[in-house]
Structure 1
Amino acid sequence: MKHTRTISTVLAAAMILSLAACQSGEEDSSQTDVPAGVAVQVEEVSRQTISTENKVSGKVVADGQESIFVAVNAQCTAVYVEAGDTVSAGEKICTLDMASTLSSYNAANISYSSAVQSYQDQKAVFDSQIALYEKNLSDLKALKEIGAASQLEIDQAELQLESAVATRNSTLSQLEAGMQSYKSNVEQLATVLENVDSGGNVISPVAGTVVTLNATEGGYVSASMPVAVVEGVDTMKVQVSVSEALVPKLGQGDEADVTISSLGVSTVGTIRGIEKAANAQTKLYTVTVALDEDIEGLLSGMFADVTFHTDTSADAVVVPTEAILTSGSTQYAFVVEDGVAKYTEVTIGLTGNGVTEVTSGLSEGQQLVTVGQSYLADGTAVRIVSGED
């Protein structure tokens, strides 16, 4: 009897523990219920200014003595310094009457840019056509294997492809010759305008002391004699090499972001020199960027990253780049409307540092999904959470 009571007691205890566990499980389940919808983070679409960012690496170098030449005879209309004066990098030395030369240079730049664009556009058209001809030929060969196409059709497709390739090569060769001619003209005029800004002002490429000055108001300067000689004060500058695609977009006086990683320093510099001839080995152009402030610990030979800002678009719809998704040739994003995700195809423009211009598909004020968009489809229920959730 005692044994029977012991068993009954154990069974009762087990039932109590089981009930308690069930109740605990029900409580835990109720506590872990999650609201319906995919969790996403959003950002309101806004309009701002965006610039294409072109990042290149270079080295810090020390300034020395600079002889400032202008490769043309021109009348001096104003002089701003005297021998013995101290000048900063970018400071005006004098002004020359170079209106016709500047006009010719601007016109040559426009012609060259137009020729480059024409070449690129024509190449894109030809490449697209040839890709279609190649696909057609490949499809016909596959059909012939199953008896659905003849050898004659294949021969005709091959001739069509060969003709398209020959036409492309001939046309692009002519366009390239014209482009190189315009480029040569730009380089010749750019040599004349080295150290001259868009206003005809001769500027000092370095900071230092004017030790020689050959410019006088009302007088003429010549290509055979420097306008001035400036003795550098051991200031630092950064030299980088850029491609022929980027160099036409840069101008003396333009600002650029400079980062010295070894010192953990980011600063702003100003373009003070653009070589007009490419390096024979690298085919790249040297651009000199003067640093606008003294940096403690900066030494010649240190590496530096320079970011040039080009192709600016103002009052543009600008969104985080990661918000844009791609499927084949289609780019799209998701916006939130009434608690659901809405699929929206977009067209993009310029790209900057982590941001992208959207030229169509999005409007200011919309709630753009910036986190969680990869898990969405059109009409998916969503719940907006903060980055801290």
Structure 2
Amino acid sequence: MKRIISTVSLLLILAVFMTGCGKEAPKAQEEKLVPVETTKISTKDLNHTLNTTGEVIAGADVNVMPKVSGRVQRVMVNVGDKVHNGQVLLQLEGNDAQNALSQAEAGLALAQANLERAQQGLKDAQINFDRNKELYTAQAISQAQYEQAESGLVTAQTNVKVSEAQVKQAQATLNTTQDNYNNATVISPIDGVVAAVNVDPGEMVSPQVSPITVVQMASTKIKVNVSENVVASIKTGTKVPVTINALNNTVTGTVLSVAPKADPDTRAFAVEIQLPNEKGDIKPGMVARLNLSTGTSKAVLALPIDAVLERDGQYSVFIVEDGKAKEVSVKVGATSGELTEIKSGLKEGQTVIVTGNRLVGEGQKVKVVKELGGAAK
């Protein structure tokens, strides 16, 4: 019995040994390579662009005010109406102005009649003086009669001068009353669109309050503020791409003006960009995004923005050396589009990780799967 148990134990030990001998030794774990995309840093010309936003304003915004006070007789336009220069916007009651105009016209007519009578009197006095002068020379009349004729001529000349002055005075009065009468008709000073009507028939208006606002829509403007660092590089006439958010549309604007001095409160310089608006789609108050060119840096080292990492205000990139990632501190400059300027820390031709740089660490082995500007590996 003991011999049987020993035999079985021996067989079990042998079986375990044989099973162990059949397994292979575990292989050493291979180091994982991080796939990355790279580019070689090179020199480029960078166009500097100021990306900012502004509010659209009308090309012209005119608060139309009457020149005289009066009661509104009729409002001729509604909000949204297109109007042209000289078009009647509203009419004031004009009975008093009409009566004054009629009176002034009559006064002028009377003064002109008096002038004509004075002129005729001067002609008669001149004839009488000439005749009496001949008679006096011939000693046919006395000196008193001659002097009387001379005095009549002087009086007639004075009467003409007085009548001429009265005509000028009457004409000035007529001009004033004519202006007052005309001012009862309020007209638009520009071509544009009625933006506001703040009066109804029967209400009183005065030169101190605007009853109607007209805006010019054929062209609109954007006003933005820029710093002293870039204002010198902005020139009138420069073309500016402008995107109107509400319309999802980009138009080309033109720098209309650059303020010659800074605002004392903001220390910024105002720049106005004019936008074409023939269809009238661009409305005042819309928000616009614009890319304003502020100069060019020639032949500077540049990298894609994604290649640069920022931590606590410090910038760095990962370069590839001997198949491993190496972190390098850099100093950045201006950004233009998808590129950013590298002022120091790198040399031209070095290989920089663009994609995958957030997955690697110092000294980690990497596998370049694509070199930007080259073929996939």
Normalised by the size of structure 2, how large is the TM-score? 0.43
Structure holding more strand per residue: 2
Larger radius of gyration: 2
Normalised by the size of structure 1, how large is the TM-score? 0.42
Structure holding more helix per residue: 1
